[in-house]
Each structure stands twice: as C-alpha cells, then as structure tokens.
Chains A and B, each alone.
Chain A
C-alpha cells in the first residue's frame, strides 16, 4: 500500500519525515512554480514533485539526476537566486528550501529536456580521456582565441551574476577553542558532551541545517529504546545550555592548516527568503584549536556500471534519507544494487513506504545477516552473485539489465535479463572522510578488512572518530566519540571523562563491501556502455583503463590525464572507485597505487566569504595626516605612498595635472611653497650610546655632530646596498631625532630594533617611533624666511643665527615648534615640526601668514620635480635594493675612517666598485619638450637587431618648468664615465626612439647658492 499524499507533489508520503507540513513553501525550478515544505532541501522538494532530471553533465551533456542527499552531490548543481544575488554551482542537496527560492539548472542549452550538446554523448567515443590534450594542440595560437573559448562555452558549470557588485554582506571572525569538533552526528555529539561537561571551550560544527547527521535518516536505530531523534534533541538542549559550548549548524569546515588552524564557512542567511541587512550571508570562522576531533562520517561509494549516471540511479543511503527525513519516495519501482548489507535497510525503507522493490541485486555470492533475512521475509527477491550490466532509459532509468557473475572475477556467467525499475538504489561501500585529516598532513593506511583508507598517523593534535575513523557501527562510533571528547578536553587542561551513552539498538549488518573492481559486462570489449566513475567531470571506467594503456601508471598522472577527482567535489564519490580500477589494471594492490593529495578547500566556498568586509573602503587602511582636512577642502588630488594618502597636487579651477604641477614648482622657486611632510618616518633615539649607534647604522660619521646640528645619512643593508636615507638631528648630547622615508619608516624601526636587540645589546640606546607625534610643514623658497617671520617665529632666522643644517626649538604664534633648516628642494627651506594635535592649526596659520608672499601649497609630484632638478635621489625610485652608494655617485658619504658600519664589509668587495655597474646619471633629451617614460631602457644604437644591448633604465623623469626642458635620471652601465655621450630610448608603442645626452645629475643651481635664499 502506498502512503502517497495527493496534495503536494506526487512523491510525498502522507506522514513522517522532519518536515513542517504546516508551512508550505513556494519555489521555482527553471521557471516552473513548485511547492515544498519547510525543512525540505531543494533536492527533496524537487523529488517530491517527481523531478529527477536536474542538469546536464559537464562533457557529454548527459541528463543527470539527484544522486545523493548531502554535500558530496556531484550532479545537482544549480544557479540559485536572482539578479545580483544569484550564485552558481550550489548543490541542491544542501540548499534549505525558502519561500521564493529561484533555482535554474545549469550547463544546458537551449533547455534541460532538449540539449544540443547531448550529441557529445552519442559521439562520445571521439572524446576519450586526454581528448583536449590530443586534439587542440596545433597551431598553438589557436588555443587562446578559438579552442579555449569554444570549449568553455560548451562545457563548464554555472555563470557568475552579470552584476559583479555582490549585494550580500560577508564577514569573518576569529575564535580560539580548547576543542573543535567537526561533524555533529552521534560520534561528534558524544565527543561534545564529554568535552563540554568538563568546562572546556568547545565548538561543534555541522554542515547540515540540524545536528544529528546520518542517524536522522534512519528509523531502525533506537537509542535507549526510543527514536534516535529524542536523544539528539536532549543532547542538543544540554549542549546549548552550556555557555562554554558553541554550536554552529550549516557550517562547513573547509580547511585544516598547520598548528590546528581551521577555517569554517557558516551559512547564516542563505536559507532565508529575506536576508536581514544586519547579518552577513556567510561568515568565515578562523579557528585556533588546542585539540581537534574530526567526526565527519563516511561517504557512500557508487557502483560502476553502464548508465549508472542516469536520473533515477541514486545512492542507497540517500534514498533512505529522502524517505525517512523528508517523507519523499524517489520512485515507484525500485531495484537495489549493492555489495554490502547497508542497502538492505533501504530496501526495507522503500518497502515500508509502499514502494515496490523489484529485487535486490547483490554482488556477493552468499549474503547472510538479520537484514538480509528481513528483506527476504518481506518477500523481496534477492539475486545473489549478480551484477547490473546496464541501466536503460533516455531521460530516466526505465529498466536494468542484470546477470549472474563470477563474484571473484566479475565475469558474466549467466544469461542477462531485464528488470523494470524507475529507481536504482546503489551502494558500493563506504569511504571514511579523511580529507581534512589528510589536509593537516595526517597519514592514512589501507584497511583490507573494511576496504577503505583509515587515518593512521596524526600530524596535529587531532583525532578522527566514528565513521571517518572507519568505525561504522553506531554504538562503537558513539563510544569512540565520547572517549575522544574527554581525551581532547583533558589534553587541553580540563578534567574530563567520557559521557555516559545511551543503549544502542541497531540491526546487525555487514558493512564490508565485496571487492570487485572489474566492471561486469557482456558487451564486446571496447563497446561497453558508459560507466561513470567521476560524475561531475564525466570520467568513465574506460577513460581510466585507456590512461593506463597509454602509459599513465602513477595515480597523480592518471588523475590529471583523465581529470578524475578534479571537479568541484574533488572526487568525494569517485576516488576509491578510480583507485580500485587503476589497481586492477596495474595488477597492484591499492596501497601500492597510493592516493592523490587532498587539497584545500574541502568544499567549494564563495569568494565573498573569503574576502569578508575587506572590500572597497575597508580593503586596506588609508592613513591620513592631521592636515588632511585642509588638503581635501582645497581640491587636492591624492596619491598612495605606502598606506598614506598624500596630497599629490592641488589643481585650481580647470587646471590639468601638468599645469598645476608647473605652477607649484615655479612658485616654490620664485616665491615659496609649502609641503605637508608629516608622513616622513621619525624615530626618537635616546641613550648614552646613541651617537655610536648611528655611527654603526649610517655610512658616515656621527660622533662629531654638534648638538643642534643636522646631518644627512645613508643606511645600507648588510649586503652594502642602499636601504633608506634621511636627515638626523642631534637634539642633545644623548638624544637624536631621525627621519626616514615615508614608506620605509616601519621597516627601518624594526631593522634598528633588531640590531639593538640581537647584535648590540651592550649599547644603551632606546628607540621610540614619533612619526605620528609630530606634524611637519616645510616652507621652501626665497620668501621662506619672511613668511616665518610674519608667522611670529620666536627665533632669529638669518644665516648667522640659524645656519643651514641646524635645528632650534622655537614658538610660532605662541605654539611650540621644532624648526629644522634643511632642504629637499635646494631652496632656502625650513621644516617646522609641531605636536600633531596642532598640525592643522600650524598649516592654516602658515597659509595665512604666507599669502602676501605668494606661499603656494605643493604636493608630492612637485616635490619630486623640485628634488630631481637638484639631483636628489629618492630611495625606492633611484634605488631598488641593488644600488650601492658608489653607483649613486655618493662615495662622499661613505666614511673611510670608521672601523665598521652595516654594509661596510660587503661594500668593500671588489665587485662593488666595478666601473661597469649601473650608475646614476642625468639625461637631457635632444628635444627639450620630450619627457622619457620612467622605466625606458637605454641603448647605444637604436638600429641594432633584437635583442638589443641594454645599458640600463630611466628611474625618474619630468619636465622641469624652471629649466624649460625635460630632465631625467637613469641607472646606466658604466654611466659615470659616459658623460656627454648620446644614448637612445626605443619606445614600445612604435614612437621614434628618444635621443638624449648623458649629463650630471644636478640640473639646477649646481653651486647651491639658493640654499641661503
């Protein structure tokens, strides 16, 4: 008697299941309006509506149906949602049904029922393994423009939303726990009870919508004499009441990295028809666990036979799950095909649900157990020692061809016969989920008895329990879990003992699968029907055999050649079958064949979850100076310098960048300019050995520097190459103020601390970063002195009282300041430092005081031009880590007297003084208006054949408004000896080569007269 409900979907049972029949849910599939219930997955709701055909396969476009009831599903991948919210390749078996859900099948054109690409299936013999490699080889240029786009259109999975601005919110978070339990089945829950009761910080996660795992799909397993769901509910209640336990459902652990760092993807609002704006759609959890308990259970293996991919062929466990958990029957007339006892439970479940079970086809010669007897007592025919040879049907299985076989060799021994069936429930054994264990560098060994890989050695503080430890019985799995939970909590420093467990009653069954890797077939060799191993990548048993024949014997080679296990399911269903076939073909046992690597991520994870909120404005920090408000109000254009946002130039009205920079550069030389230099790194150096410390850090001498004086210094790495530069000032006998480049500040401080802490602990020196403590405004130009006087400077600024390269404490309009008379423009220049809280006030005050004197704010671009006119280098622009002071023409700054400084030994190597090293020179173009692109390469003869002999490259290049011609600096081989010679710069865009003459690097005011105004 069928227990069908007539109301909703033909295939829904009138009662039972974990669905809420009071809450019908509307959804659409390929535009068709359908109904399901709250608690359904998309897959169960489709099946309830009698829909099996849900997609087309990747390569052959074969019709595909729902195969599983979990995240191992290879076929039922859907496009879910609409507009910008849609996401491709979502497993229908994992999607909780919600009102208004829109699902669209993938990889079919023009429609699911009729698909033009299905011709690939008919001519499939022309597409064997390695087809792409063999066919699309020549000509090479065709690959990018012709072959690849066509192949991608024909094959491939879903499409990303055309609107790339994903409107969903994604977040990430961190959590430290004592014990992380991955998997919320009975083993995981038992572990959580033991660990949770000890007070340890426990987190238990499960990918399902509810905890309980596989047992939710069983009806004949009782805990303490009651339905398992009762014990599960009580356990969940207890765990939820413990404040030290965090439970996350709909959460997949997809990565297991070193030192028990694991990543989880939690689906928070995927299953809601209205996603609340304040909640993320998904959250990435980054877990640091003291101990990890993996309780991920098993994956059921398919059996390999002709047509095993047809809609209507399903995993036996999944069929049971649909009946018991969702009250859905996936067919009216079923055949069970198995090599173990577990599928007999499915036969009984189908029978009790009123489905006609035509037969059980068992590969084993003589199965015998309570379950087998129960099935036979129910009047179901059992064909021992038989195999399914082929499943027939176009868009759905309609009949199957079976025959008696020799169970040891797979040879067909009996006359094949046909059975009508619209459902084939298959079970090829069980694969413990060792994927995460293996990701964490745990080892596995082949268990001959259970015919599966089991965890053997651990690399991390972790333990696998229950099914994923190869323990298939419920009672044993629970005990395994309870003990592991207690052990893990104890190892994390808590007093724990294994939780008392309920009495388990479950039918005795033989889970060990019969081993038969050869596919039984009565077809002429080479004409066998397609029997799929990897459903998602359309890899057949013949493909693997072909690969072996063609010489691919390593498991890693076979994987890549056939693409077996390389789809988004990463071979969850296919790996063991592929290994079995391979071992059979090679005549080697499976342990000798080996396994492929289990890679991150365990399941596909959206990019949104990985990116989190680090997008747009929060992608990275933008550091702002305290004068930033003024720049913004005065139309500054910005450039990134490290993480800083610096004013680049200040266009007035409709000025172009060139016009603005020209105006700013001219003003700084004719009147005065002001620059926000706050971003320069500043380090306060204190201690009686401070001068000695600087002596060792910089190439020049520091002990002789007078208090109140400033000195320019060059810092080398220990390889003798320039690392950083800046002006350092002696504020007191044992007190210095160092400046560094903007981008180098943090690196220099760390570098100096490293030397102090590891090499020179005897030096009494303390360093403190004061980059942010001081705001800096540089006033530069002939009117600089007048402007500071007008601003109310408390000290005399004339050359005698305040010479170049000195420093004074002063006040400016009553505000205390440090004034440094140093110059990066070659003009009379004062660098005014003020406590940053007054930075903006200082800037405004200077702008006001300077107005009558033509004070013009200039940005970093004008600063670059001004310093280039003077031939001043910028570390990181003229240098790249391979440039030493001699190369820069700065031998004058390298002390010959000092016994040591960082880089000295390297710098004294003969090769560092070779005359053919790349050396810094100036360039003047023949056409004064032409600016050589930075990065352009110099050659002596632009007409020489390719590849040309290159001398070096341009490091800085600008049009100098003050000189009226373009200027450039370049690093050229042997450049110092080439002054006056002509070089050429070929242009990549086909323009004529640019002709230039090598000059000195100082273009403007070579005598340095302007420094005094």
Chain B
C-alpha cells in the first residue's frame, strides 16, 4: 500500500477563493464556512461486532465503532458511522498509514480499509443560522432537537451527496466528494446571503 503522505499535495478546495456577503440588519449572525484543512480519511468496512477493530480504534482514536447515525470524536480524530458495516475514520494529515497498518495487521477477519483522503473535502460551518442555511438544500430534519451534537447523517445537499456531522448547535461539519466541492461551496455561500456568509480557505 503506497502512502500519500510523501508530499502534502493540493486539497480539493485549493482553487476556491475566499468569498463573503455582508451581514444584513436583522440577521442572527454571519455563517462562517471554513476549509477544515489537510486531514486523512480512511473508509473502514467491517462487521459492527468486530471487537478487535473496536479495541484498536479505541487505542488509536479514543473511541470504538460509532453507533448508527452517530460519530465519536476524541481530539483530532473522529469515527463516523456511514452504514451498518461502514465507517469513516478522520485523523490528522499524515497519520492514515499508521492507522491503516494497525487495522490491517490485527488479523481481525473480514475488513477493508481504503484511504480516501484525496477523495473528500471537509468544511466546518458555524454560526447561529448554520442549520437554517443547510436546510435550504437538505431534506433531513436538521433541527437542534433532532440532529443533536454527535449525530451524523449521509444525505444530499442540493445535487451532491454529503456527510453531515453535528458538532454543536451552531457548528456542523460537511464532508463532500472532491469533484463536488466547487459546487458545494458555491451553493453554501449562495444559501448564506440572507444571514451574511463568509468562505475561508485553509
């Protein structure tokens, strides 16, 4: 397995310039969209009851396999449940090969680890209106009483599949596929016009 950690390379968001719309009167506050910057992503597939994998993850990322529609975060590392037998492991840039190696050599039965660091872009969206902004192009229930901190969802924003992670009432992380990032940033910024919005590159 080759490592992509040799050179930092270019993020999927690299060519997207900073942009903003001012905060109009009466707005609940500007929404800030930030490129989350370089990080490593591993797609993990295994059975939910794989204890060996859970144990390794606990050691490496502070948490085991997250339950359905949840993510578990510890420091800079997070484990996001994507499906009944699929998770996304998020970690600092340059760390995926260590994590992958630990998982692959554990003799943990039927598993698959696939690095997808290049395949995704990650945006942190914050501000009082961030949920209202996302609700413009996302049909799931994003109310803070329903999509609570620690909840994760695979859904659609506009015409693009995305993963949403609720960090807090006013903070949501959006993970999208690289080729959709120019569209996603454009749609997010457009949706923020009524609150005031700013996109900040890494």
Contacts and interface: CB of A to CB of B under 8 A. Distances in A.
Interface stretch (B69-77, B130-138, B163-171): B130-138
A837 B3 contact: no
Query: Chain B: interface residue count, which band?
Result: 35 or more
Interface string B153-168: 0000011100000000
A838 B116 contact: no
A518 interface: no
B110 A174 contact: no
A620 B139 CA distance: 17
B101 to A, nearest CB: 15
Contact of B24 (A278, A620, A624, A628): A278
B186 A617 contact: yes
Interface in A755-787: 764, 766, 768-775
A116 B85 CA distance: 74
Interface stretch (A134-142, A307-315, A370-378, A683-691): A683-691
A818 B3 CA distance: 12
Contact of B135 (A174, A772, A835): A174
Contacts of B135: 173-175
Contact of B8 (A622, A644, A818, A837): A837
A744 B116 CA distance: 20
Interface in B76-133: 85, 110-112, 114-120, 132
A840 B190 CA distance: 28
A231 B178 CA distance: 55
A816 B4 contact: yes
B194 A838 contact: no
A624 B183 CA distance: 9
Given A687-B110, A766-B110, A838-B10, A626 B143 contact: no
Given A278-B24, A613-B191, A687 B10 contact: no
A688 B90 CA distance: 27
A618 B119 contact: no
A298 B194 CA distance: 36
B183 A622 contact: yes
A816 B2 contact: yes
Given A174-B139, A621-B160, A626 B12 contact: yes
B49 interface: no
Contacts of A169: 193
B179 A624 contact: yes
B45 A766 contact: yes
A835 B120 contact: no
B116 A279 contact: no
Interface residues of A, number: 56
Interface string A158-183: 00000000000101111110000000
A814 B6 contact: yes
A173 B136 CA distance: 4
Contact of B158 (A621, A626, A766, A817): A621
A620 B177 CA distance: 15
A255 to B, nearest CB: 16
A201 B145 contact: yes
A629 B9 CA distance: 15
Given A176-B141, A768-B116, A837-B117, A276 B9 contact: no
B10 A772 contact: no
The interface centre, meaning the residue of B11, B114, B159, B179 with most chain A CB atoms within 10 A of its CB, is B179
Contacts of A171: 136, 191, 194
A172 B159 CA distance: 14
Contacts of A769: 119
B115 A773 contact: yes
A280 interface: yes
A447 to B, nearest CB: 38
Given A278-B24, A815-B6, A836-B118, A623 B179 contact: yes
Contacts of A201: 143, 145
The interface centre, meaning the residue of A623, A625, A775, A839 with most chain B CB atoms within 10 A of its CB, is A623
Contacts of B139: 174, 286, 288
Contacts of A775: 118
A841 interface: yes
B177 to A, nearest CB: 5
Contacts of B137: 172
Given A173-B136, A814-B6, A772 B158 contact: no
A622 B185 CA distance: 12
A508 interface: no
Contacts of A643: 159
Contact of A837 (B9, B110, B140, B142): B9
A769 B115 CA distance: 10
A493 to B, nearest CB: 12
Contacts of A644: 179
Nearest to B24: A278
The interface centre, meaning the residue of B142, B158, B178 with most chain A CB atoms within 10 A of its CB, is B178
B21 interface: yes
Given A772-B178, A816-B6, A837-B8, A280 B194 contact: yes
Interface string A643-674: 11000000000000000000000000000000
Contact of B112 (A624, A684, A837): A684
Contacts of A620: 159
B118 A687 contact: no
Contacts of B196: 278
B9 A768 contact: no
A176 B143 contact: yes
A624 B111 CA distance: 31
A836 B112 contact: no
B13 to A, nearest CB: 11
Interface in A809-832: 809, 814-818
Contacts of B145: 201
B187 interface: yes
A621 B178 CA distance: 12
B124 to A, nearest CB: 19
A768 B45 contact: yes
Interface in A610-642: 613-614, 617-618, 620-626, 628-629
B169 to A, nearest CB: 12
Contact of A276 (B24, B119, B179): B24
B141 A172 contact: no
B30 to A, nearest CB: 12
A475 B159 CA distance: 49
Contact of B10 (A173, A621, A626): A626
Nearest to B118: A836
A370 to B, nearest CB: 48
Nearest to A619: B159
Nearest to A679: B179
B87 to A, nearest CB: 11
A687 B110 CA distance: 7
Contacts of B119: 769-773, 836
Interface in A963-1009: none
A837 B116 contact: no
The interface centre, meaning the residue of A175, A766, A774, A809 with most chain B CB atoms within 10 A of its CB, is A766
B9 A835 contact: yes
A835 B117 contact: yes
B10 A840 contact: yes
Contacts of B146: 176
A628 B14 CA distance: 12
B180 A623 contact: yes
B91 to A, nearest CB: 16
Nearest to B160: A621
Given A684-B114, A837-B8, 9 more contacts: A174-B138, A174-B142, A288-B141, A613-B191, A618-B186, A620-B159, A626-B178, A837-B12, A841-B9
Interface of B: 2-4, 6-12, 15, 21, 24, 43, 45, 85, 110-112, 114-120, 132, 135-143, 145-146, 158-160, 177-180, 182-183, 186-187, 190-191, 193-194, 196
25 contacts: A172-B136, A173-B132, A173-B136, A174-B135, A174-B138, A174-B142, A176-B141, A201-B143, A278-B21, A288-B139, A288-B141, A621-B180, A621-B183, A622-B183, A623-B180, A624-B182, A687-B112, A766-B112, A768-B112, A770-B114, A773-B117, A836-B118, A837-B10, A837-B12, A841-B7
